[in-house]
Structure 1
Amino acid sequence: MTTKNKKTKSNHLPIRLNILFFLVFLLFSALILRLGVVQIVQGEEFQEQLERTINVSVPIDAPRGLMYDRYGNILVDNELQFTVTYTNRKTPQLEMIETARKLNEFVTIESRRTERDLREYWALLNHDEYIELMSIEEESELELSNAEAHTARLDRIPEEEIDALQEDEYEMQVYSLWREFNTGYNDLPHKVAQGITYEQAALIMENLEHLPGVDIIRDAERKYIYGDSLRRVFGNVGSIQRDNIDYYLANGYLRNEQVGTSYIEAQYESVLRGRNGRLENFMDQDGNFLRNPEEHVGSRGNDLVLTFDMELQQHVEKAIKDTVESERYYSQFVGDPDAYVVMMEPHTGDILAMAGYRDEANRNVLTTFTGSFEMGSAIKGATVLAGFDSGVFAPGDRVWDRTMNLSGGGTISSHTTLGSVDHLTALERSSNIYMVYVAMRLIGYSPGVSSSWGNYYRGYDILRDYYAQFGLGVPTGIDLPNESAGINGGNIPEPGRLLYLSFGQFDTYTPMQLAQYVATIANDGYRVAPRVVKEIREPSRDRNELGQISQQVEPKILNSLDMDPWYIDEVKKGFHRVTHGNQGTARSFFADRPYDAAGKTGTAQVFVDGKPANNQTFVAFAPYDNPEVAIAVVVPGISNQASASGAANTISQKVLDAYFDLKEERRGPLNWDEDLLEDEEDDEDEEESE
């Protein structure tokens, strides 16, 4: 390249840079000019517009987390629905009533009728008559405040006026909407009617301009896939109660949010709660939208994997129902038919199934841990171990089982005279007298030798301290609220009561405590807290697949029995003889079963409505050599006649059969709406063919 060409190119470069700098200068000048116009010329106009702009943020409820069983079957789902909301922006009451009348053309609801609210509503509808109930002069003479005068006028409304109002069906429909409008908080949407139809929602949306404060949103309600199974345990979702409002506000909730109000929904509220979204509306002071709303999307709450096996749960419920309603047992109940089952893994505390015979409200499943009963001989394993560990008995020691006369009158005996019994025979044949000797020796009393019972109060404390190590008479530690610890009968100044305590006919225990007791024996003396939640999972895009694990709930060992393991093994042998021994009280139910169960029967003599009855109980674990399931069955208030015997054993056999059958073959839980009804029809057809 020549020197001349190089100079030519060098001259072109500064020219291009100058042009570029000039263009940048022009752009900056234009930008500065525009900013000046906006700031100086139009500044006041924009400031006024900004001040006129109202930013209304409307929360969008996020769905709650789902609940799955241990095999990934959805138990509690969310179902999208249309919901009518009302936002009370300090609206005058008459305007509110007018809106309620218009909304009533599209949707009707039922609201609670209270005397005060009915009188308030009448006063609004009949303002002149309301004022005439107390003259201004009388109000002045009595020196009443406006609030006091208002209350006085309301009290003077004739009862016949309120009765007539309540007989007016149309006005009661409007009243219900008006009352619901007033239930919510100011400036926050309040859910008035949930689950309306698509057609109703469409009509309301077409008329929103005539319904100030009313809106239609899409939210979710809880859907229970398997009907009433465990429904009460799952708990409820509802509005924040006023007594708890400060707690929730401090934790970032809005006043109108839905929260868990009972059981799992309440216990795991912080986990199940979704992260709410919001809709930002930009309006002028006249309520006109200035631009499209901005939506900030929320997210579903975390999911819970529960310990329940829903397929097994359905088998347990069926076993209870079929047994209780059978021709043999249904007429044998002294009071209302009743039965409870708890099944758990002894090593982890996982509750596999828990059920009660359903009453109309399906409350009985909760009684498995909130209600208590005298359990009878089922607790004798704990009494035997108390005798061994305290040193008042050694394995192999024998006593003579026969009727014992009490010093204060009365007698104690086993169901029959058993003669010479050791601990194994005492468990196999259910000797009350062996247990009585444990209690007497704990306080140093020897029948026929001791002149007095001495400090027998100490015996109550010693026995209860031992029972507590198995979970009897103390909280089990289950991860559900409202658990009962049973009823402690106290240290009654009657030695005979101490003796009854030793074989389960004084203090009361829950079915859950009974299950933990036998699980502790099956688990070689380790007491594990029952649990209903196994894992916390992040929500997944596909609801039929579990998300990533957020938290694995570890088993919680509450205590271990500080005693010789040999003693526990001896009690296990006694339990095995109950189900397999030649004279075992449950031999006819379990001796031929392939899963080799060990257990203990129980009968407590009680009174129901003043009539004598029995509480039948049974505890068991299986397989004997390597326990993987423990059960407690309670059938309270059944006849004490021989024809009623075996109800608890029958249920126990059915539920253990179901557990081990499911290990061989699973079909999955039956859908409540369709499959379960078809299955029941098939059972009825089979019964008819037989």
Structure 2
Amino acid sequence: MSPKKKKTHMPVRLNILFFVVFLLFSALILRLGVVQIVQGEEYQRKIERTVNVIAKNDAPRGIMYDRYGNVVVDNELVLSVTYTSRNTSNEEKLRVAKRLNDFIDVDPSSITERDKKDYWIITRPEEARTLVSREEMVELENDIMKIYRLQLDRITDRHLAEITDEEMEVLAIKREFDRGYAHSPQRVKVGVTYEEAARVLEHLNDLPGVDILRDSKRKYVYGSTFSDFFGSVGQIRREQIDHYLTKGYDRSDYVGTSHIESQYEDVLRGKKAVVEHILDGSRKIVGAPKEKLGERGKDLVLSVDMGLQQEVERIVAEEVQRFKDSRSFIDHGSAYIVLMDPYTGDVLSMAGYDTSKPSGNHDLGVVHDAFVMGSAIKGATVLAGFQSDYAHPGKVFHDRPIQIGNETMSSIGRRSLGRINDLTALERSSNVYMFEIAMAFGNYHYGTKRGGGFNDRTKGFNQMRYYFNQFGLGVRTGIDLDRESTGFNGGVQQLGNLLHFSIGQFDTYTPMQMAQYVSTIANGGYRIQPRLVREIREPSTVENELGNVIKQFSPNILNRVDMTDEHIERVQEGFRLVVHGNQGTARGLASKSYQPAGKTGTAQVKVNGLNANNHIFVGYAPYDQPEVAFAVIVPGLHIRDNLGRPANIIAERALDTFFNMKTNRGPSDYLNEFDEFGEEEDENAVETE
């Protein structure tokens, strides 16, 4: 075949190829046309059907039990009205709020003056415009915010009086609408009645954004008992939003806002139930929802004995009222007490009562309020002297009035106790014995008046505070509560102030710090972290039964004090003599079968410009095998109080109750966890300020 004939076949083949391609493109274009024009709406509906709407329902928080398995904080079902804003205008919010007000009752008492002014401007726009002249608008360059602020300033009480009672209710509802976030449900009213919920549900079509939520709120089985320490649950504060969002919370979630609820938020929080719906183009649900069940939060077993707590709160309230009725207080009356297991750190009971409070309850004062504690801290002073070789067991000092500058300082008035050793110093509460130790820390030799070493004042104060810190005095105890006070540190002052420091008349301490201090002496020198939570447990599936243990907290030893066993035992003997010695300052309790030991204190203070006393009693019982440590503080008493030692009275009644309940209850469900205690220590032994 010639080349010429071969060429004639090429155009035919190309034409066939082009024709096939043309047919394919035509078919594709035709198909696209059918999809877009004929079937476009159907496919659009299919696309719209793939829109997923996810709803999350809150799960109840974990339950709290006392140390014997009694429920103390529970949940109860409530219904809440919620509102979800989708960048809705003020006018639309007002319309919905007015309609919603027809179906629910609201309390407008929390409305502020600013809320009223904003409402007045929104609902009376014509009148609001007359508050600013045209000239002023020009002068303000039509700046909306500046004009708005000027309007606010010019709204008078006469204007606000125009707002009716019904409008106030509407305003209360809209105020809750405004507090929410876009696309996030905001609780408008928690705890609506079933009748209110039914009316709202019946009219949901006329209430865009409104819904009814199955919710839960905390139920306190023992009423107000210990309620301050349980803490509160509420909506996330604005300054904490970012923190909680990063942890997977929604803006509208309720969280623990204080104390145990806040401290154990990650544990108490439940897992939300998640319901996923598929909606079509008309926003109707397509098919069955996909549901992921929620789970109640984990439970806490507390260290507190709620039966004992109730009795202790009653005792403190009764005694404070009795002291007040007898005019023992210079101002309002108050008292505080802590009962703690000295080996585990379990807080068995703690209470405070203050007659200046509306309810009288001031339990939080145990960890928030600090006082000068007087002679009750002398055990720490003696042990500091022993460890520094400024004293030793059996060391004798001459107790007599001493002169520091223009101040005469002594133990009892201007009298002398004579030559006494460390045990007598604790039994009779010698000030001068403590002064001798403090002067040694200050390198001041009273007999020869040499005090050049005290030019370095910082050393004397810091050394003594170092030893005091080891007992928990002046540092955080570590209790599992927020906002614990460390007391007041008076800094570095003159020699006379160092002497006052040694007898508890300079720095201030909280009742909880005093309980930790005396527990450290009671257990042989180990500073134990106080705790309110003993265990974390799985949510129980059986009523009145505890779930499985997830975590059991062991006693946490913060540090071992830098003192020998011999030295600690010597101070323990001094504390025993305070109660059982012939001249002990708490010998009124010597007949008690539970054989307490401890140290009293009377601190001189000023109240309303008048001289007053704080009465303190710290200790433990029994003295040979302590089961409970205690600290009692009754501040602001008249110097010539005619009721004896109020702190001793409260301590006696509380200890009587503790040991009577222990006898009636029989062997505890919880055994002492301190059997092998003493070997493990925290390397960061002492906190310092």
Tell whether the structures are fold-level matches, with TM greater than 0.5: yes
Question: What is the DSSP-based 3-state SS (H/G/I as helix, E as strand, rest coil) of the residue aligned with 1:176?
Answer: helix
Query: Which shifted more, 513-522 or 388-397?
Result: 388-397
Deviation at 1:58, TM superposition (A): 2.3
2-structure distance, mates of 1:389, 1:142: 74
Contact 1:228/1:362 (<8 A) preserved = no
Corresponding position of 1:144: 142
TM-score, normalised with respect to structure 1: 0.86
Contact 1:615/1:635 (<8 A) preserved = yes
Question: What is the DSSP-based 3-state SS (H/G/I as helix, E as strand, rest coil) of the residue aligned with 1:245?
Answer: helix
| Of 358, 362, 377, the match for 1:360 | 358
Corresponding position of 1:121: 119
Contact 2:197/2:212 (<8 A) preserved = yes
Sort the Cα spacing of 1:641 and 1:154 in 2 relative to 1 into closer, same or farther, 3 A. closer
2-structure distance, mates of 1:347, 1:142: 71
1-structure distance, mates of 2:99, 2:228: 38
**Deviations 1:137-196 (Å, cap 9, x if unpaired)?**
86456433444444444444455212332xx21111111111111111111211111112
Corresponding position of 2:65: 68
Contact 1:330/1:337 (<8 A) preserved = no
**Deviations 1:39-94 (Å, cap 9, x if unpaired)?**
99978614424326643322201111111111111111111111111111222222
Deviation at 1:407, TM superposition (A): 2.8
Question: What is the DSSP-based 3-state SS (H/G/I as helix, E as strand, rest coil) of the residue aligned with 1:364?
Answer: coil
Corresponding position of 1:464: 465
Question: What is the DSSP-based 3-state SS (H/G/I as helix, E as strand, rest coil) of the residue aligned with 1:325?
Answer: helix
Sort the Cα spacing of 1:133 and 1:444 in 2 relative to 1 into closer, same or farther, 3 A. closer
Corresponding position of 2:506: 506
1-structure distance, mates of 2:380, 2:325: 30
Contact 2:443/2:451 (<8 A) preserved = no
Corresponding position of 2:419: 420
2-structure distance, mates of 1:369, 1:158: 45
2-structure distance, mates of 1:327, 1:141: 67
| Of 221, 226, 232, the match for 1:230 | 226
Question: What is the DSSP-based 3-state SS (H/G/I as helix, E as strand, rest coil) of the residue aligned with 2:527?
Answer: strand
Corresponding position of 2:16: none
Query: Which shifted more, 352-361 or 57-66?
Result: 352-361
Alignment of 1:214-613 (within 5 A): 214-291=210-287, 293-326=289-322, 330-358=326-354, 359-360=357-358, 364-414=362-412, 416-452=415-451, 454-455=453-454, 457=457, 458-493=459-494, 495-588=495-588, 590-613=589-612
Contact 1:406/1:412 (<8 A) preserved = no
Corresponding position of 2:102: 105
Sort the Cα spacing of 1:284 and 1:120 in 2 relative to 1 into closer, same or farther, 3 A. farther
Question: What is the DSSP-based 3-state SS (H/G/I as helix, E as strand, rest coil) of the residue aligned with 2:617?
Answer: strand
Contact 2:401/2:408 (<8 A) preserved = no
Deviation at 1:272, TM superposition (A): 0.6
Corresponding position of 1:654: 653
Query: Which shifted more, 399-408 or 239-248?
Result: 399-408
Contact 2:48/2:279 (<8 A) preserved = no
Contact 2:444/2:454 (<8 A) preserved = no
Question: What is the DSSP-based 3-state SS (H/G/I as helix, E as strand, rest coil) of the residue aligned with 1:365?
Answer: coil
Query: Which shifted more, 333-342 or 39-48?
Result: 39-48
2-structure distance, mates of 1:545, 1:40: 66
Sort the Cα spacing of 1:362 and 1:325 in 2 relative to 1 into closer, same or farther, 3 A. closer
Question: What is the DSSP-based 3-state SS (H/G/I as helix, E as strand, rest coil) of the residue aligned with 2:77?
Answer: strand
Sort the Cα spacing of 1:66 and 1:272 in 2 relative to 1 into closer, same or farther, 3 A. same
Question: What is the DSSP-based 3-state SS (H/G/I as helix, E as strand, rest coil) of the residue aligned with 1:444?
Answer: coil
Question: What is the DSSP-based 3-state SS (H/G/I as helix, E as strand, rest coil) of the residue aligned with 1:520?
Answer: helix
Gaps of 5+ in 2: 1-33, 668-689
| Of 191, 194, 212, the match for 2:187 | 191
Amino acid at match of 1:610: G
Deviation at 1:403, TM superposition (A): 2.1
Contact 2:537/2:548 (<8 A) preserved = yes
Sort the Cα spacing of 1:204 and 1:409 in 2 relative to 1 into closer, same or farther, 3 A. same
2-structure distance, mates of 1:527, 1:293: 56
2-structure distance, mates of 1:327, 1:472: 28
Contact 2:423/2:574 (<8 A) preserved = yes
Question: What is the DSSP-based 3-state SS (H/G/I as helix, E as strand, rest coil) of the residue aligned with 1:79?
Answer: strand
Contact 1:61/1:276 (<8 A) preserved = yes
Deviation at 1:540, TM superposition (A): 0.9
1-structure distance, mates of 2:384, 2:165: 68
Question: What is the DSSP-based 3-state SS (H/G/I as helix, E as strand, rest coil) of the residue aligned with 1:385?
Answer: helix
Question: What is the DSSP-based 3-state SS (H/G/I as helix, E as strand, rest coil) of the residue aligned with 2:310?
Answer: helix
| Of 174, 178, 199, the match for 1:182 | 178
Amino acid at match of 1:512: M
1-structure distance, mates of 2:637, 2:654: 20
Deviation at 1:132, TM superposition (A): 4.3
Number of aligned residue pairs: give it: 628
2-structure distance, mates of 1:618, 1:146: 65
1-structure distance, mates of 2:627, 2:57: 46
Amino acid at match of 1:491: V
Deviation at 1:135, TM superposition (A): 6.6
**Deviations 1:420-441 (Å, cap 9, x if unpaired)?**
2111111111111111111112
Question: What is the DSSP-based 3-state SS (H/G/I as helix, E as strand, rest coil) of the residue aligned with 1:357?
Answer: strand
2-structure distance, mates of 1:157, 1:314: 52
Contact 2:48/2:281 (<8 A) preserved = no
Amino acid at match of 2:391: F
* Alignment of 1:164 onto 2:177: no
Amino acid at match of 1:280: E
Contact 1:323/1:329 (<8 A) preserved = no
Amino acid at match of 1:130: A
Amino acid at match of 2:493: I
Sort the Cα spacing of 1:122 and 1:386 in 2 relative to 1 into closer, same or farther, 3 A. same
Sort the Cα spacing of 1:203 and 1:387 in 2 relative to 1 into closer, same or farther, 3 A. same
Deviation at 1:605, TM superposition (A): 0.5
2-structure distance, mates of 1:289, 1:129: 46
Deviation at 1:279, TM superposition (A): 3.2
2-structure distance, mates of 1:642, 1:84: 56
Amino acid at match of 1:591: A
Contact 1:515/1:630 (<8 A) preserved = yes
Question: What is the DSSP-based 3-state SS (H/G/I as helix, E as strand, rest coil) of the residue aligned with 2:364?
Answer: helix
Deviation at 1:104, TM superposition (A): 1.3
Amino acid at match of 2:580: H
Please give the root-mean-square deviation of Cα atoms over the aligned residues, in Å.
Answer: 2.5
Query: Which shifted more, 516-525 or 641-650?
Result: 641-650
Sort the Cα spacing of 1:667 and 1:394 in 2 relative to 1 into closer, same or farther, 3 A. closer
2-structure distance, mates of 1:49, 1:577: 89
Amino acid at match of 2:73: V
Question: What is the DSSP-based 3-state SS (H/G/I as helix, E as strand, rest coil) of the residue aligned with 2:275?
Answer: strand
Query: Which shifted more, 561-570 or 105-114?
Result: 105-114
Corresponding position of 1:48: 45
Gaps of 5+ in 1: 1-36, 669-690
2-structure distance, mates of 1:249, 1:328: 50
Contact 2:304/2:532 (<8 A) preserved = yes
Sort the Cα spacing of 1:407 and 1:116 in 2 relative to 1 into closer, same or farther, 3 A. closer
Contact 1:402/1:414 (<8 A) preserved = no
**Deviations 1:450-494 (Å, cap 9, x if unpaired)?**
24464161322221111111111111111111111111111113x
2-structure distance, mates of 1:538, 1:667: 28
Sort the Cα spacing of 1:115 and 1:396 in 2 relative to 1 into closer, same or farther, 3 A. same
2-structure distance, mates of 1:387, 1:404: 19
Question: What is the DSSP-based 3-state SS (H/G/I as helix, E as strand, rest coil) of the residue aligned with 1:339?
Answer: strand
Contact 2:84/2:185 (<8 A) preserved = yes
Alignment of 1:640-651 (within 5 A): 640-651=639-650
1-structure distance, mates of 2:380, 2:650: 23
Deviation at 1:213, TM superposition (A): 1.7
**Deviations 1:261-300 (Å, cap 9, x if unpaired)?**
1111111111111111133344445544445655432111
Deviation at 1:328, TM superposition (A): 8.0
